[in-house]
Amino acid sequence: MPETVLLPKPETRTGRPRLFKVILLNDDFTPRDFVVKVLKAVFRMTEGEALGVMLTAHRKGACVVAVYTQEVAETKARQATDMGARAGYPLAFTTEKEG
């Protein structure tokens, strides 16, 4: 019987992981101070950082919040979107592959 050769899993890779942007989308209903609260809680932003990101999304329609590995980006986007939904707001965060 030939020996079984265990090959490394395809996802066992070295090198740089793919990065994903978390993007905040504007809406007409979520209060500004609630958006700031979510950004501080989920993305560990200061008040000033959160205000800047919120205002950019408010004025331009969307703003990049931060960049993470795929799993972290998707988890944070879901947690932040869930915070809005639990409070009855349509606040939405999406993710997008970098580059």
Residues that bind ligand TYC (CB under 6 A): 24-28, 30-32, 35, 54, 57-58, 91
DSSP string, 25-93: EP-SSS-HHHHHHHHHHHH---HHHHHHHHHHHHHHSEEEEEEEEHHHHHHHHHHHHHHHHHTT---EE
Joined tokens for residue 71? 């799993």
| Identity of the residue, 17 or 31, whose beta carbon is nearer to ligand TYC in the bound complex | 31
| Identity of the residue, 7 or 87, whose beta carbon is nearer to ligand TYC in the bound complex | 87
Q: Closest approach of Cβ 32 to ligand TYC, in Å?
A: 5
| Identity of the residue, 71 or 85, whose beta carbon is nearer to ligand TYC in the bound complex | 85
